[in-house]
C-alpha cells in the first residue's frame, strides 16, 4: 500500500485481461438451462395497418413453446417513450406498423432453426399505407401521418429565442447564411443486439441485455410490461459497444419478456446484423440552416439556427438530439442575440437515437463560417475564432454558465501543433489544412434522474466493493471509479471491485447517458469513498486513541497517528474493518451527486424535462477542444483522404491519459466515418433500407486511419471529480468543419454536407474549372 | 420480413474426383449449388439467395489447387487455389506480376485465404476482381462436364459456364514482352471490392503498341472488354492524348449500373480514370 | 443431415456430430462452448469470428463445420498458457487496445496469423493484416501499436 496518486496515471482498463483471453461474458455468450430461442416476425411494409395475424400453424409446430402478437399479448396502455411527451411506441404493435422491419409477432422454440422456420408459418394480413421517407415529404400538406395525433408529423419542437436576432442581423455589417446537412448514420455496434429474459413465476423478470442506461431501460420495461420496478432486474454484463445506440428500451427486450412469461422458460432473442441495422437504432439525419451577423471586425452580433431533425418511426431518444445541438452550439461561440428553432419530424424509417458524434453539422457550420467570413473580411481565421470563443464564467443564451473552458487555448494549441500558420495556403498542390472546434456537455437535465447514488461495502480484510448504477461500456468507467476510490482512501486498486449496472443491487444512475459518468457517477462514487474513509479514520482514531483527523494512512499500509510514523501502535485497514464489524457498524460509504441544475428563475416543470423553452443551468460541465487536419484530394476522382489529425482536448483533469487517448481515437474514427464514408440509403419505392450490413455501410478500417496526435490542456473543472470532465467526444466534434476547411485550402472548393462524397467533390471541382475557363474567355 | 442467422437446410455432397462431381451434376444439375471456398456461397445462402437442395463442395477433390508453369509456356492454375496462394506463388510472381499483385490486394487476408480463384471468376458478381485481370492477360478457362471438356475465354465465362459444368483449370498465357497494369478503385482500399477496376496488357515495340487488351471490373458483364477502346491502341504510338482518348472510349463503351453509393455518371468517370492510370502504370 | 466429425481445437481432439448446415462458428460457440470467438456480422465483413485453421486466418462464420474435419484449429482460448497471456494479448492489455473488447479476439487472431507469417511487419503490413476487422471503440491506433509491441516482444523488432 502506498499513497502514491493514481490520478493522471495511465493504467490498463479493468476487465481487459478477461477480454484478451476471450473469457469476458457478453449477453451473446450467456446460455441458461432450458433456454429457448426467440425470433421476431417483422413487417415487410414501411407503413401498414395490421388487420389480422394467424399464428395457428406456428403454434402447432413441435418444439415451438410460445407465440406472441401485439393483438393478443401487448398490455394495453403500455407505451414507451423516454419522456412523457414522446410516449409514442407500442413495443409490439397491434394497430399498425411504422417502418419496414418493425416487430409484428414473435416465437420461442427449442432451437434457433426451428424458431426461424416457425415465423415463416405466421400469416399476417396488412393494409399497406402510403409512407414518407424524408422530413420534407413528411411535412407536406396531406402527407401520410406516421402517428395520427401528430399533425405534419411533428414529433416535437424546441425554441430558444434570446435578444432580437432580426434587429442584430439588420445592424450587422455582414450576414453569412448557409445550409448544412448530415445523413442518417448507424452505430454499427460490434455485438448484435441480444436480449435474454428469464421470467420467475413468482413474478420477476431477469434480463441480460446490452444497455448503457439500465435504469432508463427498466423504467421503459415497467411502463410497457405494466409491472413494478422491483419486478424487473437488469443484470450486469460486458457489452460489445454502445456509443449512444443502447440508450432506449428496445422492443427485443420487451418481446423476450412476453415470450419468457408465456413459456415460463428463459428466452434469448439474438438479432442478425441486418436485423440490428434495420430494426434497432440509427442517428437522425439533420438539416441545419444558420444565419450569422458580423461586425466588420469579425465580432458576432447575432445568430439564428433552424434545424430539422428526422427521427424515423418513433421519437425515442432522438428527442434528446433535438436539444443537444443547442447545448453544443450556444456554448461554443458567443452571440449577444440568439435564436434556435428545432423540429423533430417522424418518417417511416429506422428509429433514430443518440450517437456519440452528436451535433456535428452544428460545429461544422461555424468553422466553415469563420473561414469564409475571415477570407471575405480579410481577418486572420484564428483571430476571428478567438474573438468569438466563449470564455470561462460566461452566460450563454439559455442562461447556463460555462464554468470552465479552454476553447481559445485549444484553438491556439491545435494551430501551433499542426503548424497551421506555415501550412495554410502553402502546402503542395491538392493538400490542405483546416481546423475545427467542438464541445460536449457532461450530463444534462433529466429531471430527478440526473443524479447518481453509490454505495461502498467493506469486507473484514479491508477490501471493498462499490455499487454504482453506472455501466462500463469499455471506455473504462470501472477503472475510473477504482482510481477515484483508491485516491480517496489510499487502498490499492487490486482491493477495490466495482459492481455496476445491476438494477437490483445498485441505486439509480443515469447510466452512460449524455456523458454522465465522469461528473455525475464518478462524483457519487467519490463521495461514497469519502464517507467510508471518514468511518475508517474514525475507528482507526478510536483504536489509536486520537481524533479521526489526526490519523493518516502511511506507506506501510497502516493507519498511524499523524507525524508519529513508526512510533507506538499503527492499525491496519483489516483491523479497522474487523473492529467495525464487531461493533455492529461495518465500514460502508454512501455518496450521492445531483447534476447542477437550476431552473429556479424560470418557471419550468422539473418533472417534465421536455419543455418548448427550457432556460437555466441545464448542464453540469462542458468539455471543449479543437482538431486540425491535413487532407489530400484526388482531383481525378474527388476522393478525400485525411492524412493527419492533431487533436487538443479540454477535458479538465485527465484521470487516465492512456484510456482517454484511446477514447479520443475512437471518437475521431467515428467522426471520420461519418465525415467521409458512412451513409444510409433507403429504397424510395419500398421503404427498405439498403445499407444494412458492414459491406454497404462503410465503417472505416485501420487502413483509413490517419496519423493522429493528441494533446491535453489540463484545465480543471470545478464540478468534476479532481477537476475531470467529459473527455471522449467534445474535442472531436469539430472534425467535419476542419475537413471542409482543409478541402477548401487544398483545392478551393467548399462542401457543406456530410458525408463528403467523392462524387460531390468531383462535381465541385468540375464546376470550378468551367467557371475559371469561362472567366479566362 | 425475415432475417436469418442460420443457414437453410441442404444436403452436403463432397465428391472425391472430378468424374464423380460431373456425374453428380449431370444427375442433379438444377438442384445443386457448386461451392469452392464458400465465402460467396454461404454468404448468399444466409440471405436465402440461390438456395438449392444440394451443396457440392469441391474441397475433397485432390489436386485442384495446383499452380504450375505448363509446357506450352502458359501458367496453369487450379480453380481451388486460394487467392492468397496465387499471390504468394513464386511461379505466378515471376510469370505474371500483374496477377500476383492483383491477388495480393484483393479483399482481406481472410477472404484471400478462403476464397479461390475459380470461385472468384465463376461467381458473376461485382466481387469477381480476378476476371478483368485474367481477361486482360487473355486467359482461358477449362470447363468439364459429364459430356467432356472445352476451353473458353475467361471473359466469356459468365455466359459459357452452364449448369452441369465445373471450372477445372485456368490457363494464363505468358508473354514476356507484355506490359501490364492494374488499377482498382474502392472506398476502403484494403477492404472493399472494386467499385471500378481496369486491367491492361500491352505488347509494345518501342513506343508503338502492337497489341492491346483492356478489361474492366465493376461494369456489366458483357462490357467487361471495351473492344473499341482497346483497338484504338493497336498499331499506334502511345501518347498522353491517345491514352486520354482510349480512356474516354472505354468509359463510353462500358455499361455500369448505379449502386447505393455511386451514380452511373460517376462510375463512368471512374472507368476513365482507372483505364488511364492502368495504361500509364503498364508503360511506366 | 448430421455427420460425425473429428478435429483438433486448441490442441484438444473433439469428436462431435454436427448438422451439415452448421458453420464452424456455431459449432465452436454452441457445441464446444468456446464463446471467445465472436459473431458480429455473420457474413465475413467484420473479422470478429476469425480463427486460425492449419496456420491460416479464416472466417469461421463462412466455413462449414464439417469442412473442418481433420483440421487443426486455434481460437482465442488457445493462445494463453493458463493466466500467462500470449505476448499479443499482453500487448493489447498494456497498450489500451481493448475497450468494449467484442472485436478483440478477432483482431488478436489475425495479428497472430500475421506475425506467424511475417514476424517483422511494417505499420502498413499490420494495417493490411487487420483489414478485415472492424472496431468501433479504439480507432485502431492502439491496436496497431499493440501488434508492433508484440512483434518487438517476440523478437521481430522493427
CA-to-CA distance for A594 and A512, rounded, in angstroms? 15
Chain C residues with beta carbon closer than 8 angstroms to that of B9: 1, 21
pLDDT score recorded for residue A605: 46
Question: Does C97 sit within 8 Å of A694, measured CB to CB?
Answer: no
- The per-residue pLDDT for range C114-137, each reduced to its tens digit, is 999 999 999 999 999 999 999 999
Tell me if B182 sits within 8 A of B161, measured CB to CB.
no
Question: Does A17 sit within 8 Å of C93, measured CB to CB?
Answer: yes
Question: Does B46 sit within 8 Å of C128, measured CB to CB?
Answer: no
Chain C residues with beta carbon closer than 8 angstroms to that of A695: 43, 45
Q: Please give, rounded to a whole number of angstroms, the shortest distance from the CA of A614 to a CA of chain C.
A: 33
pLDDT at A611 over 70: no
Confidence of residue A448 (pLDDT cuts 50, 70, 90): low
List the single residue in C with minimal CA-CA distance to A14: C93
pLDDT score recorded for residue A610: 54
Average pLDDT over residues A545-567: 86
| A117 reaches B (C-beta below 8 A) | no
Of B3, B191, B260, the CB nearest to A701: B191
pLDDT at A603 over 70: no
| A10 reaches C (C-beta below 8 A) | yes
pLDDT score recorded for residue A446: 66
Q: Which residues have CB under 8 Å from A295's CB, separation 6+?
A: A172, A173, A301
| A659 reaches C (C-beta below 8 A) | yes
Chain C residues with beta carbon closer than 8 angstroms to that of A19: 98, 101, 104
Average pLDDT over residues A137-147: 97
- Interface contacts B/C by beta carbons within 8 Å: 75
Of B1, B5, B260, the CB nearest to A690: B260
Chain C residues with beta carbon closer than 8 angstroms to that of A697: none
Biggest alpha carbon distance in chain C? 51
Average pLDDT over residues B60-68: 97
Question: Does A15 sit within 8 Å of C101, measured CB to CB?
Answer: yes
Element (H, E) at A293: strand A285-294
Question: Does A192 sit within 8 Å of C102, measured CB to CB?
Answer: no
pLDDT score recorded for residue B81: 98
Tell me if A231 sits within 8 A of A205, measured CB to CB.
yes
pLDDT score recorded for residue A613: 57
When mean pLDDT is compared across A65-79, A447-461, A646-660, the lowest value belongs to: A447-461
Chain C residues with beta carbon closer than 8 angstroms to that of A13: 96, 98-99
pLDDT score recorded for residue A158: 87
Question: Does B190 sit within 8 Å of C44, measured CB to CB?
Answer: no
Question: Does C1 sit within 8 Å of B46, measured CB to CB?
Answer: no
Rounded mean pLDDT of chain A? 94
CA-to-CA distance for A221 and A231, rounded, in angstroms? 10
Chain B residues with beta carbon closer than 8 angstroms to that of A696: 260
Question: Does C1 sit within 8 Å of B109, measured CB to CB?
Answer: no
Chain C residues with beta carbon closer than 8 angstroms to that of A675: none
Among the residues of chain B, which ranges form H helices?
18-28, 41-46, 83-88, 90-95, 97-104, 109-114, 117-122, 130-136, 157-160, 227-233, 240-253, 264-283
Residue A567 CB: number of other CB atoms within 10 A? 9
- The per-residue pLDDT for range B17-56, each reduced to its tens digit, is 999 999 999 999 999 999 999 999 999 999 999 999 999 9
pLDDT at A602 over 50: no
Chain C residues with beta carbon closer than 8 angstroms to that of B191: 131-132
Mutate to test the interface with C, among A17, A190, A241, A283 (most CBs of C within 10 A): A190
CA-to-CA distance for A195 and A270, rounded, in angstroms? 7
Chain A residues with beta carbon closer than 8 angstroms to that of B4: 116, 272
* β-bridge pairing B140-145 and B166-173: antiparallel
Q: Please give, rounded to a whole number of angstroms, the shortest distance from the CA of B75 to a CA of chain C.
A: 25
Confidence of residue A601 (pLDDT cuts 50, 70, 90): very low
Question: Does A691 sit within 8 Å of B5, measured CB to CB?
Answer: no
List the single residue in A with minimal CA-CA distance to B190: A703
3-state secondary structure A568-609: CCCEEHHHHHHHHHHCCCCCEEEEEEECCCECCCCCCCCCCC
Tell me if B37 sits within 8 A of B82, measured CB to CB.
yes
ipTM for the complex? 0.98
Neighbours, chain C (3 or more CB pairs < 8 A): A, B
Q: Please give, rounded to a whole number of angstroms, the shortest distance from the CA of B249 to a CA of chain C.
A: 34
pLDDT at A359 over 80: no
pLDDT score recorded for residue A557: 87
Question: Is the peptide bond prior to A601 cis by the omega test (within 30 degrees of 0)?
Answer: no
pLDDT at A280 over 70: yes
Check for a shared fold between C2-77 and C87-153.
no
- Under CATH, to which class is C87-153 assigned? mainly alpha
pLDDT at C12 over 60: yes
pLDDT score recorded for residue B124: 85
pLDDT score recorded for residue A53: 98
Chain A residues with beta carbon closer than 8 angstroms to that of B190: 701, 703
Q: Please give, rounded to a whole number of angstroms, the shortest distance from the CA of B4 to a CA of chain C.
A: 10
- The per-residue pLDDT for range A296-308, each reduced to its tens digit, is 999 999 999 999 9
Q: Please give, rounded to a whole number of angstroms, the shortest distance from the CA of C26 to a CA of chain B.
A: 9
Order of strands, sheet of A464-468, starting from the edge strand that comes earlier in the sequence: A496-500, A464-468, A451-458, A588-594
- The per-residue pLDDT for range A158-176, each reduced to its tens digit, is 888 999 999 999 999 999 9
Mutate to test the interface with B, among C52, C58, C106 (most CBs of B within 10 A): C58
CA-to-CA distance for A484 and A6, rounded, in angstroms? 8
- Give all strands (DSSP E) within B129-189, no chain letters: 140-145, 148-153, 166-173, 178-185
Rounded mean pLDDT of chain B? 96
pLDDT score recorded for residue A320: 87
CA-to-CA distance for A110 and A113, rounded, in angstroms? 9
Tell me if C91 sits within 8 A of C153, measured CB to CB.
yes
Tell me if C102 sits within 8 A of C40, measured CB to CB.
yes
How is B187-219 classified by DSSP, letter by letter? SSTTTSPPSEEEEEEEEEETTEEEEEEEEEESS
Chain C residues with beta carbon closer than 8 angstroms to that of B114: 58-59, 62-63
* β-bridge pairing B148-153 and B67-69: unpaired
Rounded mean pLDDT of chain C? 96
pLDDT at A685 over 50: yes
Question: Does A636 sit within 8 Å of B260, measured CB to CB?
Answer: no
Question: Does B12 sit within 8 Å of C56, measured CB to CB?
Answer: no
Domain assignments of chain C as residue spans, ordered by start = 2-77, 87-153
- The per-residue pLDDT for range C67-83, each reduced to its tens digit, is 999 999 999 999 999 88
Top-confidence residue, A599 or A250:
A250
pLDDT score recorded for residue A82: 87
- The per-residue pLDDT for range C99-119, each reduced to its tens digit, is 999 999 999 999 999 999 999
CA-to-CA distance for A650 and A623, rounded, in angstroms? 6
Chain A residues with beta carbon closer than 8 angstroms to that of C40: 190-192, 240, 273, 694
Cell triple for residue B139?
486467359
C2-77: CATH topology? Ubiquitin-like (UB roll) (3.10.20)
Confidence of residue A447 (pLDDT cuts 50, 70, 90): low
pLDDT at A612 over 60: no
DSSP β-bridge partners for residue A312: A346
pLDDT at C156 over 70: no
Q: Please give, rounded to a whole number of angstroms, the shortest distance from the CA of A22 to a CA of chain C.
A: 4
Amino acid at each position: 500500500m502506498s499513497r502514491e496518486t493514481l490520478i493522471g496515471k495511465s493504467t490498463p482498463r479493468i476487465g481487459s485481461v478477461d477480454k484478451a483471453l476471450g473469457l469476458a461474458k457478453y449477453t451473446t455468450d450467456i446460455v441458461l438451462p432450458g433456454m429457448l430461442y426467440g425470433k421476431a416476425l417483422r413487417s415487410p411494409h414501411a407503413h401498414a395497418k395490421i388487420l389480422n395475424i394467424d399464428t395457428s400453424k406456428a403454434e402447432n409446430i413441435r418444439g415451438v413453446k410460445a407465440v406472441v402478437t401485439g393483438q393478443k399479448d401487448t398490455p394495453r396502455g403500455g407505451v414507451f417513450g423516454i419522456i412523457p411527451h414522446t410516449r409514442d411506441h407500442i413495443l409490439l404493435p397491434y394497430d399498425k406498423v411504422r417502418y419496414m422491419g418493425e416487430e409484428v409477432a414473435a416465437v420461442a422454440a427449442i432451437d434457433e432453426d426451428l424458431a426461424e422456420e416457425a415465423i415463416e408459418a405466421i400469416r399476417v394480413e396488412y393494409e399497406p399505407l402510403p409512407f414518407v421517407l424524408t422530413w420534407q415529404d413528411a411535412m407536406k400538406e396531406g402527407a401520410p401521418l406516421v402517428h395520427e395525433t401528430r399533425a405534419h408529423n411533428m414529433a416535437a419542437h424546441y425554441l430558444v429565442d434570446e435578444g432580437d436576432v432580426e434587429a442584430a442581423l439588420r445592424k450587422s455589417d455582414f450576414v453569412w447564411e448557409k445550409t448544412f446537412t448530415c445523413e442518417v448514420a448507424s452505430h454499427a455496434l460490434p455485438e448484435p443486439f441480444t436480449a435474454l429474459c428469464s421470467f420467475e413465476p413468482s413474478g420477476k423478470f431477469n434480463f441480460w441485455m446490452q444497455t448503457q442506461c439500465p435504469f432508463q431501460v427498466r423504467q421503459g420495461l415497467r411502463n410497457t410490461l405494466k409491472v413494478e420496478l422491483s419486478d424487473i432486474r437488469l443484470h450486469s454484463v460486458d457489452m460489445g459497444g454502445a456509443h449512444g445506440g443502447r440508450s432506449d428500451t428496445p422492443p427485443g427486450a420487451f418481446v423476450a419478456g412476453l415470450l419468457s412469461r408465456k413459456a415460463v422458460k428463459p428466452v434469448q432473442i439474438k438479432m442478425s446484423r441486418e436485423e440490428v441495422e434495420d430494426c434497432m437504432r440509427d442517428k437522425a439525419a439533420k438539416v441545419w440552416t444558420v444565419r450569422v451577423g458580423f461586425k466588420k471586425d469579425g465580432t458576432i452580433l447575432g445568430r439564428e439556427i433552424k434545424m430539422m431533425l428526422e427521427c424515423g418511426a418513433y421519437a425515442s431518444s432522438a428527442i434528446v438530439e433535438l436539444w443537444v445541438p443547442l447545448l453544443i452550439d450556444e456554448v461554443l461561440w458567443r452571440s449577444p442575440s440568439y435564436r434556435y428553432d428545432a423540429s423533430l419530424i417522424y418518417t417511416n424509417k429506422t428509429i433514430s437515437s443518440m450517437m456519440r458524434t452528436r451535433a456535428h453539422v452544428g460545429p461544422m457550420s461555424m468553422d466553415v463560417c469563420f473561414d469564409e467570413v475571415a477570407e471575405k473580411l480579410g481577418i486572420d481565421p484564428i483571430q476571428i475564432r478567438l474573438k468569438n470563443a466563449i470564455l470561462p464564467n460566461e452566460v450563454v443564451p439559455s442562461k447556463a454558465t460555462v464554468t470552465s473552458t479552454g476553447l481559445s487555448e485549444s484553438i491556439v494549441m491545435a494551430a501551433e501543433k499542426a503548424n497551421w500558420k506555415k501550412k495554410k495556403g502553402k502546402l503542395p498542390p491538392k493538400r490542405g489544412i483546416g481546423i475545427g472546434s467542438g464541445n460536449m456537455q457532461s450530463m444534462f437535465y433529466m429531471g430527478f434522474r440526473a443524479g447518481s447514488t453509490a454505495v461502498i461495502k467493506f469486507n473484514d480484510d479491508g477490501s471493498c466493493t462499490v455499487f454504482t448504477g453506472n455501466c462500463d461500456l469499455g471506455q473504462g468507467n470501472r477503472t475510473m471509479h477504482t482510481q477515484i476510490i483508491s485516491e480517496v482512501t489510499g487502498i490499492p486498486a487490486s482491493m477495490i471491485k466495482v459492481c455496476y449496472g445491476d438494477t437490483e443491487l445498485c441505486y439509480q444512475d443515469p447510466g452512460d447517458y449524455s456523458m454522465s459518468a465522469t461528473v455525475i457517477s464518478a462524483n457519487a462514487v467519490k463521495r461514497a469513498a469519502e464517507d467510508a474513509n471518514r468511518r475508517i479514520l474514525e475507528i482507526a482514531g478510536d483504536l489509536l486513541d486520537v481524533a479521526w483527523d489526526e490519523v493518516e494512512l502511511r506507506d506501510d499500509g497502516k493507519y498511524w497517528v499523524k507525524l508519529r510514523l513508526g512510533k507506538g501502535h499503527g492499525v491496519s485497514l483489516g483491523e479497522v474493518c474487523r473492529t467495525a464489524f464487531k461493533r455492529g457498524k461495518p465500514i460502508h460509504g454512501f455518496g450521492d451527486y445531483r447534476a447542477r441544475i437550476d431552473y429556479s428563475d424560470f418557471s419550468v416543470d422539473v418533472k417534465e424535462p421536455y419543455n418548448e423553452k427550457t432556460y437555466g443551468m441545464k448542464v453540469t460541465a462542458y468539455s471543449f477542444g479543437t482538431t486540425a487536419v491535413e487532407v489530400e484530394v484526388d482531383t481525378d476522382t474527388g476522393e478525400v483522404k485525411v492524412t493527419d489529425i492533431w487533436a487538443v482536448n479540454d477535458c479538465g483533469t485527465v484521470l487516465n491519459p492512456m484510456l482517454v487517448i484511446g477514447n479520443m481515437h475512437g471518437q475521431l474514427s467515428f467522426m471520420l466515418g461519418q465525415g467521409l464514408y458512412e451513409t444510409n440509403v433507403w429504397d424510395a419505392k419500398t421503404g427498405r433500407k439498403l445499407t444494412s450490413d458492414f459491406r454497404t455501410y462503410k465503417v472505416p478500417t485501420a487502413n483509413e486511419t490517419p496519423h493522429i496526435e493528441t494533446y491535453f490542456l489540463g484545465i480543471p473543472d470545478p464540478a468534476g471529480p479532481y477537476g475531470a470532465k467529459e473527455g471522449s467526444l467534445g474535442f472531436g466534434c469539430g472534425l467535419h468543419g476542419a475537413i471542409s476547411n482543409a478541402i477548401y485550402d487544398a483545392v478551393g472548393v467548399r462542401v457543406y454536407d456530410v458525408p463528403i462524397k467523392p462524387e460531390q467533390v468531383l462535381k465541385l471541382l468540375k464546376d470550378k474549372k468551367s467557371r475559371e475557363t469561362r472567366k479566362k474567355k | 420480413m425475415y432475417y436469418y442467422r442460420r443457414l437453410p437446410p441442404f444436403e452436403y455432397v463432397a465428391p472425391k474426383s472430378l468424374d464423380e462431381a460431373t456425374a453428380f451434376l449431370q444427375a442433379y444439375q438444377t438442384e445443386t449449388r457448386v461451392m469452392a471456398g464458400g465465402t460467396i456461397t454461404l454468404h448468399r445462402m444466409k440471405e436465402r439467395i440461390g438456395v438449392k437442395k444440394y451443396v457440392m463442395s469441391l474441397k475433397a477433390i485432390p489436386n485442384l489447387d495446383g499452380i504450375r508453369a505448363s509446357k506450352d509456356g502458359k501458367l496453369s492454375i487450379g480453380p481451388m487455389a486460394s487467392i492468397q496462394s496465387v499471390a504468394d506463388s513464386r511461379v505466378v510472381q515471376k510469370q505474371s506480376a500483374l496477377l500476383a499483385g492483383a491477388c495480393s490486394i484483393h479483399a482481406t487476408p481472410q477472404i484471400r485465404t478462403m476464397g479461390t480463384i475459380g470461385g472468384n471468376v465463376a461467381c458473376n458478381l461485382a466481387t469477381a476482381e480476378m476476371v478483368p485481370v485474367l481477361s486482360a492477360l487473355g486467359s482461358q478457362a477449362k470447363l468439364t462436364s459429364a459430356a467432356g471438356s472445352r476451353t473458353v475465354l475467361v471473359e466469356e465465362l459468365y455466359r459459357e459456364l452452364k449448369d452441369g459444368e465445373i471450372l477445372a483449370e485456368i490457363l494464363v498465357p505468358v508473354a514476356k514482352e507484355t506490359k501490364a497494369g492494374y488499377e482498382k478503385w474502392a472506398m476502403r482500399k484494403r477492404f472493399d471490392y472494386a467499385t471500378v477496376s481496369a486491367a491492361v496488357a500491352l505488347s509494345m515495340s518501342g513506343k508503338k503498341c502492337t497489341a492491346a487488351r483492356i478489361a474492366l471490373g465493376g461494369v456489366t458483364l458483357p462490357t467487361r472488354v471495351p473492344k473499341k477502346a482497346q483497338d484504338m491502341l493497336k498499331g499506334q504510338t502511345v501518347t498522353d492524348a491517345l491514352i486520354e482518348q482510349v480512356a474516354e472510349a472505354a468509359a463510353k463503351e462500358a455499361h455500369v449500373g448505379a449502386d447505393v453509393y455511386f451514380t452511373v455518371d460517376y462510375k463512368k468517370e471512374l472507368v476513365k480514370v482507372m483505364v488511364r492510370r492502368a495504361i500509364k502504370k503498364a508503360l511506366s | 443431415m448430421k455427420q460425425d466429425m473429428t478435429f483438433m481445437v486448441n490442441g484438444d481432439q473433439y469428436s462431435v456430430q454436427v448438422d451439415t448446415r452448421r458453420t464452424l462458428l456455431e459449432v465452436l460457440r454452441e457445441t464446444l462452448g468456446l464463446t471467445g470467438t465472436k459473431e458480429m456480422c455473420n457474413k465475413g465483413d467484420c473479422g470478429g469470428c476469425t480463427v486460425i485453421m492449419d496456420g491460416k486466418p479464416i472466417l469461421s462464420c463462412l466455413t462449414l463445420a464439417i469442412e473442418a474435419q481433420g483440421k487443426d484449429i486455434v481460437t482465442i482460448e488457445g493462445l494463453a498458457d493458463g493466466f500467462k497471456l500470449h505476448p499479443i494479448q499482453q500487448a493489447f492489455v498494456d497498450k489500451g487496445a481493448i475497450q468494449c473488447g467484442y472485436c478483440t479476439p478477432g483482431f488478436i487472431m489475425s495479428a497472430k496469423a500475421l506475425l506467424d507469417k511475417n514476424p517483422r511487419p511494417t505499420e502498413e503490413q499490420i494495417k493490411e493484416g487487420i483489414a478485415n476487422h472492424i472496431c468501433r471503440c479504439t480507432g485502431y491506433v492502439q491496436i496497431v501499436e499493440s501488434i508492433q509491441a508484440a512483434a518487438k516482444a517476440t523478437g521481430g523488432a522493427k
